Every structure is written in structure tokens, then in C-alpha cells.
Amino acid sequence: MLKHATRRRGFATAAAAALLAAAAPAFALSCGPRVISRGDDASKLLEFCGEPTSVQTRHIDRTPIDANGRVYRGFTEEVLVEEWTYNFGPYRLMVKIRLDNGVVADITYLGYGY
């Protein structure tokens, strides 16, 4: 009886770990043997992954932050934000990549493609 309860607890722990892993933000995208990650530029993304299925563009104003994390309060900078969506077909997940001024800022996996 004790073994049965332990097995259930082990299954619940494994299931919880799988859910947490699925909810974790994506830090990289694999395009063939190449990897795209935060900080890469748009030209590398185009070279390795090709043209996106769709592109959405907008401008935002935000407080500038330098490479050391220093925030410049009272100032704003205009940032070109692009969201590139890749559809790799029905057997792979679609991916949305946000670029800030041509640099990969975020990678989000969506549902399966079509």
C-alpha cells in the first residue's frame, strides 16, 4: 500500500515538473543546426530561419536602460518593435519572436502550425 501511494506522489511530481517546464519562457529557437537566442540580430534570424510568415510592426516610447542596467529616468527613447511569426508546419510549434530595434528580445512558442 505504501508503494502505491509513493508511485502516485512520484507521478504527480513528474506531472508538475512537466507543466512548469512547458510554462517556462523560451530562451532559444532552433532553426536546423543553428540556434537563435536573445541578443541576436535580425540578419542572423533571417539567415538561419528564413522569411517569417507574418510581421507586425509598431513604435513604442520607453525609458532607456544601458548595458549595465542603469535606468535613465526622465528620458524616453523610441523603439521599433517587430513581432515575427514563424509557421514551421503542422508537426512543429509556431514561434513569435519580438525584435526591439532589430535585436531579438523575446521568443514565444505558440500552438502547432498549419
Asked if residues 95 and 108 have their Cβ atoms less than 8 Å apart, the reply is: yes
What is the grid cell recorded at 111? 500552438
Report phi then psi at 9, rounded to 5: -65, -40
Query: Which tens digits make up the pLDDT trace of 69-106?
Result: 899 988 999 999 999 999 999 999 999 999 999 999 99
Hey, where are the domains in the chain?
26-112
Architecture (CATH level 2) of domain 26-112? 2-Layer Sandwich (3.30)
Asked if residues 48 and 36 have their Cβ atoms less than 8 Å apart, the reply is: yes
Asked if residues 85 and 66 have their Cβ atoms less than 8 Å apart, the reply is: no
Query: Which tens digits make up the pLDDT trace of 13-60?
Result: 444 444 444 444 567 999 888 999 999 999 999 999 999 999 999 999
87: exposed, middle or buried (C-beta count within 10 Å: 0-12, 13-18, 19+)? middle
